[in-house]
Every structure is written in C-alpha cells, then in structure tokens.
C-alpha cells in the first residue's frame, strides 16, 4: 500500500536529525564530509548522460524477477527518492521496455551519487587510498541496468566489484552500459565481475573467491527472510572496517522487521537510517548507536 510508505517517510523526517543534531564524532564526520557533500563531479555528469540514454531506449527485453515484487499501487516519489510502481507478480517473466525499467527501477541521481560518495570515502582495513586499493572488495546484490554499479565502481577504480543479477537480458544491458562508459572514460568500470543467476545460488560460489568484503550493497529480493539470510552470509566475510548497505529498508513490514533485527545483532555497533537506505557498521570499541538521518 502507498499510504503506509508515505506515512513511514514523514515519521522518519519528523524524528531524523542532521549533522547538527548528531553527537557521535564518527557519524558527524561522515555526514559533514561525505553525506552532505553536494559538490559537482564529472563522474556524475558522465553517468547521468547514460541515464538519459536509457530513458530513451525503446528496446523491449524479457525481465526475469527472482525476488519480491513491489507492493505499491501506482507510483510514489518523495523528496527525490526512489520511484515505486505496481507490478503484477503472477509471472516471474515480463516483457518491458528498457526505458520503463530505467524510469521505475534505477536509483535516483541523488541516491546514486550518495552511494558514490559513501563508497569513495569508505576507509577499509589497509587504509590505502582509493586510487590504489586493489584489495578493496565490493559486492552488489541486484545489478539492474548497471548504472548504480557503475557509480560505485567509478568511486573505487582500482577495487574489485562483484555484482549479481538474476535476469540475463537485464544483465546484458548492464554490460552494454559499462562498455559504453569505458569507451568514454577509459578502464573506469573494467573491474566489474558480473555474475548471472539466483542470489542464493551465486553467493556460495562467490564466497569461495572472497577472503573478505569491504562493502556489501543489498538491493534485491526484498523479503525479511532473504535479507536476513544475506546478512548472515555476509557476517562470515566482514570485519570491523566493513560496511553493509541495505536498500529499501521501509519497502514492507517484512523489510522493516529485518532492519530491526539487523540493528539488534551483537556484531553491529552503528547503524544509520537514511530512510531510502540503511548503513550497518561493525566498528570495535564503539558504543552501540542507531541514527536516523535526514538527507
């Protein structure tokens, strides 16, 4: 239903703080230097040009949806955030125009650029610069058309980026996008390793390749059970410097319940709820704190 989602948004807006109401030095620094940094960036321009192309792409593909469909009837957009559109989940395969997917499924520029800044400024175990961080590992669950993947990959151009997409034809469009970006921006997204298949089948295979995860971004299969399953899987690969980002934490009652359980987990020390996404940190020596922040 649309109404509970809108109500959740205004409840969040009412109680959320900005940097000036935040007393944690770690969170204040993150907000001041990263979250609220709205400086112009040439990468933003490059990738938003790709978005414009996708919004005009009339090609029709078969979309295989292996996760939870949207619960929303109609379309909602609040304060530049995510768009929602109702889908018929009776069949997992739908024929859709690429421009329709781009319009309703891509992250807004505001959120995509926020993810870029979070990834670019995340400090991992080696404390090496983003220009020389070949040990940095980012995993994304839910590639879609690959635009958000490109944002995150370009934020850490030397890092290894793994992304999993359940729909082969959607994944093909994502690869096409990355090739186009690379043509105009060198090898900026050449480090992306795309896996195609069900998350639950691909994750165990991926686990054998990874010794650790610096950032995990979960943007797919938005059910309580699946979200908690991916969280438990990630706990085997994270350390005190890792970050997990959950998308759509207010998607449904199940997602809200999953978010509360994740916050309560004993390994979790800091969470930041931006409504559209939630950040989960495992910082040792830090008191357990949860923040709701307005963006």
> Cα-flanking dihedrals φ and ψ of residue 227, to 5°?
-60, -45
Domain with 156 in it: 2-292
The domain tally of the chain equals: 1
Task: Provide the pLDDT for residue 89.
Answer: 44
Helices (H) and strands (E) in the chain, counts: 10, 12
How many CA atoms within 13 Å lie on the side-chain side of 272? 22
Task: Provide the pLDDT for residue 123.
Answer: 84
CA-CA distance, 250 to 8, in Å (whole number)?
A: 7
Task: Provide the pLDDT for residue 129.
Answer: 45
The token pair that represents 198 in the structure block: 């069900």
The token pair that represents 88 in the structure block: 């018929």
CA-CA distance, 9 to 7, in Å (whole number)?
A: 5
C-alpha closest to that of 54 among 83, 8, 97: 97
Which SS3 state, helix, strand or coil, does residue 191 take?
Answer: coil
Task: Provide the pLDDT for residue 58.
Answer: 98
CA-CA distance, 8 to 77, in Å (whole number)?
A: 13
Residues in the chain, pLDDT under 50: 70-80, 82-89, 126-131
Contact (Cβ atoms closer than 8 angstroms) between residue 248 and residue 70:
no
**Residue 261's CATH number:** 3.40.50.150
How many CA atoms within 13 Å lie on the side-chain side of 157? 9
CB atoms within 10 A of CB 242: 22
Ordered DSSP codes for 195-211: EES-HHHHHHHHHTT-S
Alpha helices of 94-223 — where are they, by DSSP H? 98-105, 109-121, 147-155, 168-185, 199-207
Task: Provide the pLDDT for residue 74.
Answer: 41
Reported as a single tens digit per residue, the pLDDT across 108-128 is 999 999 999 999 999 865 444
The pTM is what?
0.90
Task: Provide the pLDDT for residue 291.
Answer: 97
């Amino acid at each position: 239903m649309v109404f509970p989602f809108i109500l959740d948004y205004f409840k969040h807006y009412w109680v959320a703080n900005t940097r000036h109401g935040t007393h944690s030095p770690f969170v204040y620094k993150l907000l001041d230097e990263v979250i609220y940094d709205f400086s112009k960036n040439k990468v933003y321009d490059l990738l938003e040009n790709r978005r414009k192309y996708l919004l005009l792409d009339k090609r029709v593909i078969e979309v295989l949806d292996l996760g939870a469909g949207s619960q929303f009837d109609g379309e909602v957009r609040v304060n530049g955030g995510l768009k929602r559109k109702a889908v018929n989940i009776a069949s997992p395969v739908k024929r859709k125009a690429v421009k329709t997917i781009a319009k309703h499924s891509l992250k807004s520029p505001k959120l995509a650029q926020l993810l870029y800044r979070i990834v670019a400024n995340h400090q991992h175990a080696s404390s090496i610069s983003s220009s020389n961080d070949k040990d940095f590992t980012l995993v994304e669950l839910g590639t879609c058309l690959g635009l958000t993947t490109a944002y995150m990959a370009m934020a850490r151009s030397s890092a290894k980026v793994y992304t999993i997409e359940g729909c082969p034809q959607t994944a093909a469009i994502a690869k096409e996008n990355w090739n186009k970006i690379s043509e105009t921006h060198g090898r900026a997204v050449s480090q992306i390793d795309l896996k195609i298949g069900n998350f639950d089948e691909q994750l165990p295979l991926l686990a054998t390749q990874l010794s650790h995860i610096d950032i995990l971004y979960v943007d797919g299969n938005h059910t309580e059970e699946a979200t908690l399953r991916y969280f438990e899987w990630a706990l085997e690969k994270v350390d005190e410097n890792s970050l997990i980002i959950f998308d759509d934490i207010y998607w449904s009652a199940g997602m809200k319940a999953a978010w509360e359980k994740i916050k309560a987990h004993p390994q979790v020390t800091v969470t930041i709820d931006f409504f559209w996404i939630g950040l989960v940190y495992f910082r040792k020596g830090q008191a357990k704190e949860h923040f709701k922040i307005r963006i």
